[in-house]
Structure 1
Amino acid sequence: MITGAATAAPLSESIAPAKKKPVLTVAHITDVHIRAGDDAPARFKKCLEDVKKHDVDFFLNGGDSIHAADYKDVTREQMLEYWKIWDECTATLKDYEIHSCIGNHDPWWAAPSEQDEMYGKNYVVKRLKTPGRYYSFTKKGWHFIILDGNNSKISLDDVQFNWLKNDLEQLPAGTPVVLMSHYPILGATPILVGGGHSDSKQLKSLFYQHKDKVKICLSGHQHLQDSTFYNGVQYCCNGAMSGFWWGKGDAESAAPNYYQETPPGFAILKLYADGTVTNTYHPHAY
């Protein structure tokens, strides 16, 4: 058994520039899988209060915000209940921006028809209040790109890839970039459990063309924590807020609430004016 005090210590941390202050401090939460059971709403709210203690400027939400709307037997009522709980919990973040991407469990595919207003990804965009299923924005000299990998074989569709290519090309040289996808683009976890981008070679080649810009790629999906450094880019899969889907775990769980060896938690990113970024994963004990 690992105590709550032990799980409160950060699991991983990059080296910060000496004697420099970050221009932004950003929270990365992912795989919340919010639902009514296992006291998940109250536990999630406690997690959010812990995140706030890090004086974050805004939140990046990596998807799978709700438990699982994608299963064939999920009713409209169940899906709406998940989103209602999500809204109630995130109401505690009314003073913060939340920039979200779409997870595979967020869209409701069991609607009576594709013309149903609640069918698929467009409804998720509406509920998460995002500009679209993929988009970008800039804050304090850092550019943020939010991707949608929920396409054939976990990939960017052609239209989205061309948009990404153009978005990077339009940035002034040396502009530091954070990318977020629900799924890992590169890393160790796809070797262990699958679930990574099938277009990883195409993406890493694009990033290499813009190696003066692309600094870090964030993901979730795996519920496993992993940090990989390749061609000057950090690839950070940042565990899951829900850990073992808010459950106690199974035979592979290293401790209660863990998924395999990864405890539930969230990441704090510190972004510096010189393009340096640190990613620290903080386990939580709720």
Structure 2
Amino acid sequence: MVQRRKFLKGMGIALAGIPFASNKLQAETQHENYKPKALFSFGVLTDLHHDLIKDGPRRVEMFIAEMNRLKPDFVIQMGDFCVPKPANQVIMDAWNGFKGTKYHVIGNHDNDGGFSHDEVVSFWNAKAKYYSFDLNGYHFIVLNGNERLPGSAAKGYPNAIGDEQRDWLKHDLDSTALPVIVFCHQGIDDDMDGLKEGALIRLLFERANQKAGFQKVRLVLSGHHHEDYLNVYNNINYLQINSASYQFARLKNGYDFELTVDPLWAFVSVYTDGTIQVKGKKSAYATPREPADLREYDGYPTVPYISDRVIKTEAQR
């Protein structure tokens, strides 16, 4: 409640007791012995592509075993996990071995074979196709970037957010005074191969920040691109989480499917001073490659790891 009041104060809403709470936090953070405390943590796995690789269960089991050891507040898989067919129950059994809260993001390959979004949600026991939730003074938004717009003749996988979901997103952002973390399978910062309305959604986030008067939308996580990077646009961090399984490597003579020996994942911790710490996982390619043989793909290096990062955002109000 105290943290919620601090944010409401930042929004210009006057509530009894807020000045005292705000001054107390300011005094604490300015103290020479002040050490930020972890508010929460979560584990992230994306782009397993169980239906394309042979060792999906092993990779999920390794991730879940480590998460059960670290005990984050929740785990989330960010799409391209597995299609909803009975043979893939082995993947769900491995995933459900986590002794805590689990969330899902729909990816474009999760509908392969003609499965619907509703069938995916049911098979995964996911909360919904898109949804939001709160945890320890933060608001989380999960988007579905796999909609096809009415009348669209575009070929390939759908990569859109339709009017209904976009209206829901606007309302959801307006309805919370908390800082926000967003999950979407497709990169909202990638206008080449990411979300079709990426520029529009980024503008929506930026306007939400302007309206709030503070850095409301702080972190946007994506998968899909099988890359490892952090982009910052207009004070919003866009973090790409590398695939748990493989990359499409651009070589000197074409492209190749580069499987990693072990799965990749990230462990994210958020602190009271606004710091976001990302602990990545490193592996190697099953086919040894010299760095000179691996060329950049879409402007980003092809690497078998997820980088450790420290992302600075505004201190919690």
TM range (shorter): 0.7 to 0.9
Counterpart Cα distance in 1 of 2:60 and 2:126: 21
Q: Is the 8 A contact 2:79 2:223 kept in 1?
A: yes
**CA offsets 1:52-92 (integer angstroms, 9 cap, x no match):** 443311112101111xx4xxxxxx9xx3212x121221132
- Larger relative CO (CA 8 A, sep 6+): 1 or 2? 1
In structure 1, the residue matched to 2:142 is: 146
In structure 2, the residue matched to 1:167 is: 172
Give the CA deviation at 1:200: 1.3
Question: Are 1:203 and 2:201 an aligned pair?
Answer: yes
- Larger CA Rg, structure 1 vs 2: 2
Aligned partner (choices 99, 102, 106) of residue 102 of structure 1: 106
Counterpart Cα distance in 1 of 2:42 and 2:95: 16
In structure 2, the residue matched to 1:216 is: 219
Aligned partner (choices 61, 67, 79) of residue 63 of structure 1: 79
2:161 corresponds to which letter in structure 1? L
Question: Are 1:155 and 2:160 an aligned pair?
Answer: yes
In structure 1, the residue matched to 2:278 is: 279
Question: Are 1:128 and 2:124 an aligned pair?
Answer: yes
Could you tell me the percent identity over the aligned residues? 26
Q: Is the 8 A contact 1:215 1:276 kept in 2?
A: no
Q: Is the 8 A contact 1:224 1:239 kept in 2?
A: yes
**Cα 1:32–1:201 shift into 2, 3 Å:** same
Aligned partner (choices 66, 83, 86) of residue 80 of structure 1: 86
**Cα 1:196–1:141 shift into 2, 3 Å:** same
1:124 corresponds to which letter in structure 2? V
**CA offsets 1:139-171 (integer angstroms, 9 cap, x no match):** 111111000000235121100000000000011
1:220 corresponds to which letter in structure 2? G
**Cα 1:283–1:51 shift into 2, 3 Å:** farther
Please, what TM-score do these two structures have when normalized by structure 2?
A: 0.67
Counterpart Cα distance in 1 of 2:140 and 2:226: 23
In structure 2, the residue matched to 1:257 is: 259
Give the CA deviation at 1:219: 0.6
Structure 1 residues not aligned, in runs of 5+: 1-17, 70-75, 111-118
Q: Is the 8 A contact 1:177 1:216 kept in 2?
A: yes
Question: Are 1:21 and 2:37 an aligned pair?
Answer: yes
Give the CA deviation at 1:184: 0.4
Give the CA deviation at 1:48: 2.5
Structure 2 residues not aligned, in runs of 5+: 1-33, 149-157, 287-317
Counterpart Cα distance in 2 of 1:255 and 1:183: 20
SS of 1:161's partner is helix
SS of 1:42's partner is helix
Give the CA deviation at 1:284: 4.3
**Cα 1:254–1:233 shift into 2, 3 Å:** farther
In structure 1, the residue matched to 2:9 is: none
Question: Are 1:42 and 2:58 an aligned pair?
Answer: yes
